[in-house]
Structure 1
Amino acid sequence: MNETKAERKTIIVGTRQSALALTQTGQVIDQLRGLCEKHGLPYEFEIRKIITKGDRILDVTLSKVGGKGLFVKEIEEALLSGEIDLAVHSMKDMPYELPEGLMNGAIPRRVDPRDAIIARDGLTFETLPQGAKVGTSSLRRASQLKNARPDLVLESIRGNIDTRIRKLETEGFDAVVLAAAGLKRMGWEDKISSYVPEDVSVPAVGQGALGIECRANDEAVRELLALLNDRETELAVQAERTFLGALNGGCQIPIGAYATLAEGAGGEAPLLTMTGIVGTPDGSVLLKEIRQGRDPEQLGLEIAEALRTKGADRILAELGG
């Protein structure tokens, strides 16, 4: 293409204003710029910072704030109004149901989905002392960690990841648990003491993946984002999000799911292996199901139904899910 600078279209990219959100948005824009250069597409990018409800309320645990989409609603409203053209979200923040007129235009390749421990003296999950004080903002993490180590004292800890890391010193925590993906995107991998094994703490739905949301009728942006999409990550996240939707899960419920792919032989669809969990906040009950399948939506529905049969319905009813 021979478009001049003046003819280049500016795409407005909406994001939360935390350091992590801005960093991962910048990384997505760098990838999009590379794709534009490769394919001769006439786009420039501008970041628009948006404050969400989840960013404003920092003195209450996420499970008590209530509602879904705490970190995306205001950004989605900006998309619908045309104030922005696309939005970069952490996929685990996105509710299952998107507003009418919006869609996930791309799910880039996932990075590390695990939970990571930042601890005093390089302690691991296994070597944390009896009664260690551990900070987390997630009911899912608290449920699974308490189930594996009932002796731990789990306390809610909110704020951006740098704030939570500082609280390790200022508030007497022995360890804090964060998503490995965020730490790695920030270049803070060296702060990680250890990783929580995935069989101990099943990740949040979509953890480690980003969702690039756009208007369903914006063909130009959809065509651009299609170049960024990673099919394997899309299939895995589709299975996880179907599971989430089937259980009507939100941040008030300890729920997790993680799917991986193995390439199918003989031209078959890839084989997915997925683990799903539902637990009680105190970790006294933790229901888990592991299954395989080639249809991501069917797999998500099957695991959700299997957990309902095991007693997830009772937990969901008690917690308002």
Structure 2
Amino acid sequence: MLIIGTRGSKLALTQASWVRDQIQRRFPEAALEMRIIKTTADRDQLMPLRSASRRGVFVKEIEEALIAGEIDLAVHSAKDLPSNLPDSLEISVIPEREDARDALLSAPEITLVRQLPQGALVGTGSVRRQAQVLALRPDLRVTDIRGNVDTRLEKLRAGQYAAIILACAGLNRLGLSGRISTRLDFSEMLPLPGRERSPSKPGKTMRVSAALSRS
């Protein structure tokens, strides 16, 4: 039995299911199980995530389950991983990358960042995105936004924000690419180095890692 640890959000489950399906396709005889693990960030939707003390809040409990042998591998978005993994864990594989661009979501008539009204409120939980949006449009008001993709889309629909910024990759995987107002070119916003990674214990899932690397 190979147990895959994941958070319980729709996007996390979609990504973990993709990894599970790739493993099953290459090893039809394998017994696979997905195990949902609640993290600190899942339990507390109001806490600020910027401080150093908040590093790893999306993955800490999953890492602990890996180290304890309760799961065999985990699937994360790379943005959620802290810079340094525990010594007993490694990043086993980085699957082929989805669309690496960031997406602006706004009213139907908005198709470019420059079309946002003066002083419009833009929601994003990423310091990287906040800095780059303000470099493009210093007049905009940029603030944090929490919640899963559906929650953020609902906040946009309710008028709490004039626009929000999400990853194209996540929207594509959830079948929500039609909600994108514009995909931000790399000249406007540079992405993170990766989106999806699968940490595991060294050597524990070597054949699986090799298979996923060829996917």
TM-score category (smaller protein) = over 0.9
The amino acid across from 1:26 in the alignment is S
Aligned runs of 1:156-195 on 2, under 5 Å?
Answer: 156-195=144-183
Q: Which residue of 2 aligns with 1:134?
A: 122
Distance 1:169 1:191 in 2: 11
Q: Are the counterparts in 2 of residues 115 and 203 from structure 1 also a CA contact under 8 Å?
A: yes
The amino acid across from 1:12 in the alignment is I
1:33 matched to 2:17? The reply is no
Please list the CA deviations of residues 266-310 of structure 1 after superposition, one character each: whole Å capped at 9, or x if unmatched.
xxxxxxxxxxxxxxxxxxxxxxxxxxxxxxxxxxxxxxxxxxxxx
Distance 1:22 1:122 in 2: 32
Aligned runs of 1:149-228 on 2, under 5 Å?
Answer: 149-206=137-194, 209-218=195-204, 221-228=205-212
Q: Are the counterparts in 1 of residues 93 and 212 from structure 2 also a CA contact under 8 Å?
A: yes
1:70 counterpart (57, 62, 70): 57
Q: CA deviation at 1:105?
A: 1.3
Please list the CA deviations of residues 43-82 of structure 1 after superposition, one character each: whole Å capped at 9, or x if unmatched.
1211100011122221133214733212111101001111
Q: CA deviation at 1:216?
A: 0.8
Q: Which residue of 2 aligns with 1:89?
A: 76
Q: Relative contact order (alpha carbons < 8 A, sep ≥ 6): 1 or 2 greater?
A: 2
The amino acid across from 1:13 in the alignment is I
Q: CA deviation at 1:156?
A: 1.2
> Which has the greater radius of gyration?
1
Secondary structure of the corresponding residue to residue 62 of structure 1: coil
1:101 matched to 2:88? The reply is yes
Q: Which residue of 2 aligns with 1:16?
A: 7
Query: Normalising to structure 1: TM-score of the pair?
Result: 0.64
Q: Are the counterparts in 1 of residues 66 and 73 from structure 2 also a CA contact under 8 Å?
A: yes
Q: Are the counterparts in 2 of residues 134 and 173 from structure 1 also a CA contact under 8 Å?
A: yes
Distance 2:37 2:50 in 1: 22
Runs of 5+ unmatched residues, structure 2? none
Q: Are the counterparts in 2 of residues 53 and 70 from structure 1 also a CA contact under 8 Å?
A: yes
Q: CA deviation at 1:126?
A: 2.2
Q: Are the counterparts in 2 of residues 214 and 222 from structure 1 also a CA contact under 8 Å?
A: no
Distance 1:193 1:154 in 2: 18
In proportion to residue count, which structure has more helix?
1
Q: Which residue of 2 aligns with 1:274?
A: none
Please list the CA deviations of residues 155-178 of structure 1 after superposition, one character each: whole Å capped at 9, or x if unmatched.
211000110010012243111101
The amino acid across from 2:200 in the alignment is C
Distance 1:64 1:96 in 2: 14
Task: Please give the root-mean-square deviation of Cα atoms over the aligned residues, in Å.
Answer: 1.6
The amino acid across from 1:225 in the alignment is S
Secondary structure of the corresponding residue to residue 227 of structure 1: helix
Distance 1:56 1:125 in 2: 33
Distance 1:228 1:46 in 2: 17
Q: Are the counterparts in 2 of residues 114 and 179 from structure 1 also a CA contact under 8 Å?
A: yes
Q: What is the aligned length?
A: 214
Q: Which runs of 4+ in 1 moved over 4 A?
A: none
Distance 1:113 1:156 in 2: 21
Q: Which residue of 2 aligns with 1:80?
A: 67
1:59 matched to 2:50? The reply is no
Secondary structure of the corresponding residue to residue 118 of structure 1: strand
Q: Are the counterparts in 1 of residues 49 and 55 from structure 2 also a CA contact under 8 Å?
A: no
Q: CA deviation at 1:230?
A: 5.3
Q: CA deviation at 1:227?
A: 1.2
